[in-house]
Amino acid sequence: MKKTDTDSAAAPKALYLQAKQFVLERTASGFWKPGDMIPSENQLVSELGMSRMTINRALRELTNEGHLERTSGVGTFIAERKPHSNLLQIANIADEIISRGHRYHCEVLDLGRVAAPFTIASALELTTGSSVYHLRCVHYEEDLAVQLEDRYVSPAMAPDFIHQHFDDTLQPSRYLLNTIPVDEIEHIVDALLPSDEDAKALEIDTNEPCLALMRRTWSASRVVTYVKFLHPSMRYRLGSRFSVDASSRAG
């Protein structure tokens, strides 16, 4: 039976939520798969018996939430599912990719010693010009670059870091976690456009928005590493889910 709009004040909200649920249920069931084009607004108006305004709002919100992708003059498509990384943990991207049943690959671009500029020295709580280890590598999921890792490490905290052979089986995060106990973590997320060098490494355009996760870790009150993970926003998401107790509920 077709659904119909009503004159009640609550109806518009209830109906657009029903329209959203209709799309989400068809996606969850596999009836519509990532990349599939869904029916047009006019077709959904006819199929669901709702107004054009109701359907438009439902599709617009689903697009903003990342469930759909709309191409002007072409149509509306089920969005590709983006990998999701937890902000509250020191996640190893290789484990995340493999857990999804996908192939993982790591390519090291640079690994050596550099003199720390002011910003890096400050992040590592060292003096400007201090000798630090610097690593740049790209992490791939199914041959698609999903993360550029730009890491600085304190030699005093991880003296053997520079001697490691990082590859598909040993990643910098895994090595540091297995070697040095961590007692404090700092995560900062920002949105930015990649530099020419970063865009080339990730095989994207310089106008492609990226999510940057900056992380510092401490051990025994000393900074071990400062790292920036750069993710093309069309390929990756950052988020977390956690429980809180009454004392933590402060908005």
Contacts (Cβ under 8 Å, ≥6 apart) of 124: 116, 130, 132, 152, 154, 223, 225, 226
Question: pLDDT tens for residues 161-189?
Answer: 999 999 999 999 999 989 999 888 888 88
What is the pLDDT, as a whole number, of residue 90? 57
Domains in the chain, CATH or no CATH each? 15-78 (1.10.10.10), 93-232 (3.40.1410.10)
What is the pLDDT, as a whole number, of residue 65? 73
Confidence of residue 154 (pLDDT cuts 50, 70, 90): very high
Tell me if 51 sits within 8 A of 61, measured CB to CB.
no
Tell me if 225 sits within 8 A of 159, measured CB to CB.
no
Question: pLDDT tens for residues 69-107?
Answer: 888 778 899 887 655 444 445 567 888 888 888 899 999
What is the pLDDT, as a whole number, of residue 63? 84
Q: Which of 11-25, 50-64, 125-139, 209-223 is modeled with the greatest confidence?
A: 125-139
Contacts (Cβ under 8 Å, ≥6 apart) of 164: 170, 172, 175
pLDDT at 57 > cutoff 80: yes
Strand partners, 140: 105, 145
Share of the chain above pLDDT 70, in %: 84
Distance CA(105)–CA(169), nearest Å, equals 9
What is the pLDDT, as a whole number, of residue 73? 79
Tell me if 198 sits within 8 A of 138, measured CB to CB.
no
What is the pLDDT, as a whole number, of residue 95? 85
Cα-to-chain-centroid distance, residue 179: 26
Contacts (Cβ under 8 Å, ≥6 apart) of 103: 97, 140, 141, 142, 143
What is the pLDDT, as a whole number, of residue 6? 42
